[in-house]
Homo-oligomer: A and B are copies of this chain.
Amino acid sequence: MHSLVEENYLKALFALSKDKGSVSVNDLSKHLNIKMPTVTNMMKKMAFKKLVHYESYKPLILTKKGKKEAALIIRKHRLTEMYLVEKMGFGWEEVHNIAEQIEHIKSPKLFAKMAELLDYPKFDPHGTPIPDINGEMEWKAYSKLSECKPGDMVKMAAVINTTDEFLKFLNRREIHLGLKIKIKSVEPFDNTMVVKYKNHLEETLSNTVCKRLLVERF
Contacts and interface: CB of A to CB of B under 8 A. Distances in A.
B106 A101 contact: yes
Contact of A107 (B87, B98, B105): B98
B106 A90 contact: no
Interface string A187-208: 0000000000000000000000
A88 B113 contact: yes
Contacts of A102: 102, 105
A216 interface: no
Contacts of A114: 88
Interface residues of A, number: 18
A117 interface: yes
A107 B101 contact: yes
Interface string A102-145: 10011101100110010000000000000000000000000000
Contacts of A88: 113-114, 117
A7 interface: no
B107 A89 contact: no
Contacts of A89: 113, 117
A6 interface: no
Main secondary structure of the interface of A (DSSP, over half): helix
A111 B189 CA distance: 49
Contact of A109 (B98, B106, B107, B117): B98
A86 interface: no
Contacts of A105: 98, 101-102
Contacts of A101: 105-107
A163 interface: no
A97 interface: yes
Interface in A8-65: none
A164 to B, nearest CB: 13
Contacts of A117: 88-89
Interface of A: 84, 87-90, 94, 97-98, 101-102, 105-107, 109-110, 113-114, 117
